[in-house]
Chain A
């Protein structure tokens, strides 16, 4: 089989799983459903691996054009797939983590009835297929197919338990907020279409066009910013982040796959894929970095006071996505992608760990947990690995990727002396400290603290079965060691494998030259500072939340912390503001407009006209009463008028 065929098969295989389970899942047993669902992603993983190793050994990018989608005079879009090294990384993450989560779900969802089980796996397969289309698309419109496709699956899976009204609302909210982003994506495409003469929206062509210098800088910036609005929607960046915490209504494996490891990273991937455009569009990368920083910091603040374990992880995801955008925004795209990869491992691990907890105690409220360390030892240790990776504690994977991003920001400051980059670095470090704090707070509350009056469910909690534990363990190993794929030069010589692997792709976009490396001394000092501060924050959180809850309470009520606490608990009032200033005005405005314009104005005019015609007709009817003497009068009158007119002419 050629690599081109394999590339085409990668999205097709899970798509087949969707079709088969969607049509037949009601008929056969749950075991068959799970097996059918698992085959697609696994085979896709093996295809992706072949492409990866081909590229690793210096092979050329694989591409295949399947058919022409739409073609007119000014527009030409092919259904064409493309895989270079960047794509290969994404393909491996999606199929790899995807397969693990399919496996985990087989046990997690076993209480569903047969139709629910089939529906779940059909959606999950469809999601995998669409995500694979998204990352292997060679043009923006085809990426948009995947982009909307994963959005649909996200909508369907958030509202999977749709008989719950608030879950259904959460799904709808996700879809509509993402549509706001899609609006930007669409317009961004149109701006590029106008700028390109060939009517092509092929992404490598766009990068070339941007670097050719034939397009006005303002046009490039407009296009890049508009596309970034799309990225903000999908990757839950401020101000379009509000859907992601609500998205936790979905089954937990879904949160792990869609709302942590893969779909939400699509925006980061898109910005990286269009690295050439973003680099040559003045102000674009800076915007990306600033929004990323804001989001990383604000979401970390929101996570600190959260009581729902899954929502802590949700805000954490928003925050970490912010880091990825900071990475991309510095121009060191590889750093953003590296964090994407490690985050996929450790956040999927954390979510699946939370899923195991939920499976055992049937709640996500951390106040009703506690003491699970002894009852769920495997889950605890694996969750701890994930937490350490998230907190950026060496030698866990998160340390290496986060450090790379922060180092890049500092390097930008060193190169440009623009204070913005210093602020970005500082906020990044502060966020890292907050991150360590909130995740170890969660660990302490969930696993360590001994509750005074534990629930029955907590007393009887136990580790999950092998189908759930095996994926957890694999992710645990990956979360622990993946960082060694790219050890910074300040720590070891020639260990920056990941950077070297992606270099050819990113050099092609002309972006790596932006940032000269930091001096090793400065880099080490910054690194040490972050690590020590984060470790202290982690330790403090552990200590306070497992033993000294009253101290935490007192601290939170201190005058210094009170406004922050209020902001954190209200999540900076975003939802309230949207409800007050967008949703309510639109809904009541629509109602008023309908009653005012359609019903009162236009219809009254129409009915009024009809009424007037009728009245005139009735009036005219009075002229014709059917009385001969009246007609004689008309006749005589007419004759007189005629006569007068004739005389006038004379």
Chain B
């Protein structure tokens, strides 16, 4: 068991699934879906043992694999997970079957291509979280763009082309800067390797000039900040989230945004600690602006999905804030919130997806009073909303509490301003809930809406169970990453 290259298998399994899906006969959509679901679930099953096999006491990179790739340049296929990436990989694999299931009826055209793209996306995201080599990381980072772009522009909403191209150009431009920075830092470190930890140690030894370090930090951080997104690089997000089909929105919100925050804690800050310390006040201010600004934007929306998209800007602001507060509590909260936000916002997108499937409109005004007609949906939406506003007892609170508590120890004013987001969060989500679900039935056509099917319950029930589990018993999950976070925290002293 120990010798099994489990991470490589995780990477390959969805790709095999993608090929298998493409081999399905064109007119057999049912077979296509079943194949996709099978491979998604196999990926989930394969990833679960990681949770128990991982030695959290050590907290180091484990399940590592190393194969030289371009030996002359020191590029290697080098993968591994520590407690932090482990949890992010698990979240990705757990959401993979959800993404397939929620597309079951929503995707009617080019089914094979859709599920193949989706599985490639899953694989690429896993790759980002397990890569230990900068070039490998970059490859996965860019490969991920392709299936996501296709998912948006082929299966998206009315303005899908604009949204897709905007998403692509935004991220591509920022990523190119990262590529330049990767080459530069490789040369500057002079270690003949692209291994992140090797480069870090080399940089600690030689040291970079202050200016060079700052520029490199900026280049990496810009790429990550666009992905997160950090204000003011966020305007691709509402368009992409809104126009993408449900599975795309879920993957975007739950997983792809976390690649940005993951990059910050895995690469940008440990490699360039002094520059990070210099930039921390700026980043903290941007994060706080993002929290408040995102919430205000959410208040102003009339499109259900766009509102939730903007709520992500606000929530991700909390995570960035905690990252630059850089103490154990804040970082724990940050990673915990990466998982928690995936769960709660994922669920919020799934709910609008379920409703959209039946009405084909995202306008908030097209609803009103439908709770009576679709009580099951109303209950699920209630859980997702409460988890998102950070009600204690559900997952959202734990992350938010640790983020704010940890940040408060470092930067009181920033934490206090961020805590205002707690009020706004309740305001926009409760207003949304009321406008869509409560009150008298506003439109007669909604009287015939159908409630959740067994297929939909099959992913909502586990999601709700996870919300409660993560809210009531967070410590087992915190313990998995505790030592890893401590090792990480020791690599820099931001602020």
Which residues of A approach B to under 8 Å, CB–CB?
A: 67-75, 115, 141, 144-145, 148-149, 152, 155, 159, 162-165, 168-169, 172, 175-176, 179-180, 182-183, 186-187, 189-191, 193-194, 586-587, 589-591, 593-594, 597-598, 602-603, 606, 610
Contact = CB atoms under 8 A, between A and B. Distances in A.
A75 B405 contact: yes
A159 B405 contact: no
A70 B293 CA distance: 30
Interface string B393-408: 1000110011011101
Contact of B296 (A145, A165, A176, A586): A586
B439 interface: yes
B426 interface: yes
Contacts of B327: 73-74
Contact of A180 (B391, B402, B416, B423): B423
Given A67-B473, A590-B296, A182 B422 contact: yes
Contacts of B398: 70
15 contacts: A72-B478, A72-B482, A73-B329, A163-B440, A164-B440, A172-B430, A176-B427, A186-B419, A190-B409, A190-B412, A193-B409, A194-B412, A590-B297, A606-B166, A606-B236
B14 interface: no
Given A72-B329, A72-B482, A141-B401, 7 more contacts: A73-B329, A145-B392, A165-B440, A176-B430, A594-B300, A598-B238, A606-B236
Nearest to A193: B405
Interface string B284-308: 0000000001001101110000000
B386 interface: yes
A74 B322 CA distance: 14
Contact of B402 (A72, A189, A590): A72
A606 B235 contact: yes
Contacts of A610: 169
Contact of B438 (A115, A159, A603): A159
B407 to A, nearest CB: 9
Interface string B134-174: 00000000000000000000000000000000100110000
B369 interface: yes
Given A159-B438, A186-B419, A194 B427 contact: no
Given A74-B406, A187-B419, A590 B300 contact: yes
Contacts of A186: 401, 404, 419, 422
Contact of A164 (B391, B420, B439): B439
Interface string B363-398: 000000101100100000000001000011100011
B415 interface: yes
B473 A70 contact: no
Interface of B: 166, 169-170, 232, 235-236, 238, 293, 296-297, 299-301, 327-329, 332, 369, 371-372, 375, 386, 391-393, 397-398, 401-402, 404-406, 408-409, 412, 415-416, 419-420, 422-423, 426-427, 430-431, 434, 437-441, 473-475, 478, 482, 486
A593 B426 contact: no
Given A69-B475, A70-B398, A593 B297 contact: yes
Contacts of A159: 438
A566 to B, nearest CB: 31
Contacts of B427: 176, 179
Nearest to B169: A610
A186 B437 CA distance: 30
A591 B300 contact: yes
* A-B CB proximity, top 5 nearest: A190-B408, A168-B438, A590-B296, A165-B439, A145-B392
A162 B375 CA distance: 12
B478 A71 contact: yes
Nearest to B398: A70
Contacts, number: 142
Contact of B369 (A73, A163, A189, A587): A163
Contacts of A69: 474-475
B475 A70 contact: yes
A77 to B, nearest CB: 9
Given A149-B393, A594-B300, A602 B406 contact: no
A162 B328 contact: no
A144 B299 CA distance: 26
Contact of B328 (A67, A74, A163, A176): A74
Contacts of B422: 179, 182-183, 186
Contacts of A71: 475, 478
A412 B295 CA distance: 47
Contacts of A586: 296, 299
B491 to A, nearest CB: 16
Contacts of B169: 610
A191 B332 CA distance: 20
Contact of B393 (A145, A165, A180): A145
Contacts of B369: 163
A283 B397 CA distance: 32
A587 B298 CA distance: 10
Contact of A73 (B297, B328, B392, B475): B328
Contacts of B405: 74-75, 189-190, 193
A180 B430 CA distance: 14
Contacts of B393: 145, 148-149
A175 B430 contact: yes
Q: Which of B371, B415, B439 has the largest number of chain A CB atoms within 10 A? A: B439
A152 B391 CA distance: 8
A72 B238 CA distance: 35
A453 B440 CA distance: 33
A67 B479 CA distance: 14
A165 B440 CA distance: 7
A152 B386 contact: yes
Question: Which of B369, B401, B404, B419 has the most chain A CB atoms inside 10 A of its CB?
Answer: B401
A72 B328 contact: yes
Given A67-B475, A70-B402, A180-B423, A598 B440 contact: no
B235 A75 contact: no
Given A152-B391, A183-B420, A183-B423, A602 B235 contact: yes
Nearest to A180: B423
A353 B437 CA distance: 33
Contacts of B328: 72-74
B296 A593 contact: yes
Contact of B409 (A74, A164, A589, A603): A74
Contacts of B438: 159, 162-163, 165, 168
A623 B422 CA distance: 57
B353 to A, nearest CB: 23
B371 A598 contact: no
A179 B475 contact: no
Given A74-B327, A179-B423, A606-B166, A168 B293 contact: no
A369 B439 CA distance: 29
Contacts of A75: 329, 402, 405-406
A74 B434 contact: no
A115 B372 CA distance: 11
A73 B333 CA distance: 12
A593 B235 contact: no
A155 B434 CA distance: 12
A343 B316 CA distance: 45
A377 to B, nearest CB: 39
A152 B329 CA distance: 27
Contact of B297 (A145, A165, A169, A598): A598
The CB with the most chain B CB atoms within 10 A, among A72, A152, A169, A180, is that of A72
B330 to A, nearest CB: 9
Contact of B235 (A152, A176, A598): A598
Given A594-B300, A598-B235, A169 B426 contact: no
A34 to B, nearest CB: 21
A202 to B, nearest CB: 15
A169 B391 CA distance: 19
Contact of B372 (A163, A179, A598, A602): A163
Contacts of B392: 141, 144-145, 148-149
Given A152-B386, A590-B300, A606-B170, A70 B401 contact: yes
